[in-house]
Amino acid sequence: MRNIAAFFDIDGTLYRDSLMVEHFKKLIKYDIIDQKAWYDNARDAFMNWDKRQGNYDDYLDDVCNLYVESLIGLDKNYIDFTSDQVIKLKSDRVYKYTRSRIKWHLENNHIVIFISGSPDFLVGKMAEKYNVTDFIGSNYVFENGTFNGTVIPMWDSKSKNTAIDDFVKKYNIDLSISYAYGDTNGDINMLRRVGNPIAINPTKELLNHIAKDPVISNAAKIVVERKDIIYSLSPNVDILSI
């Protein structure tokens, strides 16, 4: 008998922000990296997003590039210390709906897997926090105890697709009765491959893709969590463009 699995993205799907951004802030707070880099290169993009005058993806792209550059040559002990602080202080800042789904899957003996574009050293700590079966994140490569600048990504749909193939073989998973949870277009292949796709607080790009995709338009569930209310919507919900 093959197993049921539940694949969860983390940033924006479980965690209510970006683990990478939280880690970057901790590195600055503890004076491990210079905050001048943030103010010179990422602050404007963040402020534009915060005022809803810019694109969140543009902001994240700026931060990701700066984050990787800032970590080059950094001792892994510093990275581990600040990662522990992120989990200790921020790991409960999650969506109530997603947290309840992880609990439900575990109670039903499903294979629960985190697939995230955040650094693997953060994803692994979140996986331990929520007692999930397995995980994969973007692989940050270390040599002689320091980060060498190489990142093997896990934020795009192609990479997540390959990771699912590996997990299917490892755990004998039946995708037709399995679940996937995501929020951006990088999760689209993950959602397309399972019998129970759930988009949580989806971006406009992902929602449009789902609505036009004959493979998942009828099967997909759209969940929006706002304040203390959880909404379940049709994939064909009208999108208000401003």
**Could you tell me the two tokens for 193?**
């491959």
Sign of the C-alpha dihedral, residues 128, 134, 136, 139? positive
Q: What's the confidence (pLDDT) of residue 57?
A: 63
DSSP 92: T
Tell me the C-alpha distance between 66 and 101, whole Å.
Answer: 34
Q: What are the residue ranges spanned by the domains of the chain?
A: 5-233
- Is the distance from CB of 67 to CB of 24 less than 8 angstroms? yes
Low-confidence ranges of the chain (pLDDT < 50): 240, 242
Task: Give me the DSSP letters along 169-219.
Answer: HHHTB-GGG-EEEESSGGGHHHHHTSSEEEEES--HHHHHHHHH-TTTTTT
Q: What's the confidence (pLDDT) of residue 59?
A: 66
Q: Write phi, then psi, for 16 (nearest 5 degrees).
A: -85, 30
Q: What's the confidence (pLDDT) of residue 14?
A: 96
Q: What's the confidence (pLDDT) of residue 163?
A: 93
Q: What's the confidence (pLDDT) of residue 242?
A: 45
**Could you tell me the two tokens for 130?**
């929520």
Please state, in angstroms and as integers, the Cα–Cα distance from residue 98 to each residue in 55, 108, 156, 159, 162, following that order: 24, 15, 21, 23, 24
Pick the CATH number of 5-233 from 3.20.20.140, 3.40.50.970, 3.60.15.10, 3.40.50.1000: 3.40.50.1000
